[in-house]
Amino acid sequence: MRIHLIRTLYALLMLLPVAYGYDYASVRHRANAQKPGDPFDVVTYPHLLAIPQKGNKVEYALDAQSPMESDPCVHSLFPHYGYTPCWYIVRKSKSPTQM
């Protein structure tokens, strides 16, 4: 049983660099091709504020100074070239900023 656990852990540790390498090669190939499948994008989303009220209630409001935010991203599983993956930014955009 212990040997199977060690082998499974070793296989997962070997799979991670292979997945990252494939992801990096995919992004690099799409960036060099300069076709409509460009891996870089900009995600624009509304900037919501979570304002605490009395009685443990929260009021949500759109930020008056900067109502929309834009973040550059890359369409990949892992971050590459200093850009955050788009799936992470879309997930982050759904959570309001706590005041």
Q: How far is CA 17 from CA 7, 9, 65, 75, 90, in A?
A: 16, 14, 43, 18, 25
pLDDT band at 97 (very low <50, low <70, confident <90, very high): confident
Q: For residue 57, what are its two tokens?
A: 């209630």
> Which stretch, 37-41, 76-80, 91-95, has highest mean pLDDT?
76-80
Q: What is the pLDDT of residues 16-75, one digit of tens each?
A: 999 999 999 999 999 898 777 789 999 999 989 999 999 989 988 888 888 999 999 999
Which pLDDT score is estimated for 14?
95
